[in-house]
Amino acid sequence: MSNIIRCKLSSKGQLTLPKKFRDKLNIHPGDEVIVQLKENSITILNPPGHLGMLRGLLGEEIDVKKAEDFIQQERKKWRL
């Protein structure tokens, strides 16, 4: 499978991921992906299953433990 495919951006700024890429990454309609800008390129990532797997994505900008604690505190507020 070729790792390079030319795509066209729509007038709304939307891009369709080629089917063979979606199949390879197991991405389906309605799924969320992570889009990362690096210098002159864009990387599209399949989101990890849990927050801990994001470690390293933003370098030292995020403390995973603090983020997980914050999420847990917010979830407790939602409970009735």
Q: CATH number, domain at 11?
A: 2.10.260.10
Contact 46, 33 (CB under 8 A): yes
Pair 31, 64 in one domain: no
pLDDT category, 12, cuts 50, 70, 90? very high
pLDDT-wise least confident of 28-37, 41-50, 58-67: 58-67
Using H for helix, E for strand and C for coil, what is the string for the chain? CCCCCCCCCCCCCCCCCCHHHHHHHCCCCCCCCEEEEECCEEEEECCCCCHHHHCCCCHHHCCHHHHHHHHHHHHHHHCC
pLDDT for the residue numbered 14: 92
39 and 69 part of one domain: no
Mean pLDDT of 17-25: 89
Mean pLDDT of 58-77: 78
Whole-model pTM? Answer: 0.51
Give per-residue pLDDT as tens, 34-50: 889 988 998 888 776 65
Instruction: Let me know whether 9 and 31 are in one domain.
Output: yes
Instruction: Give the structural domain span for 14.
Output: 1-47
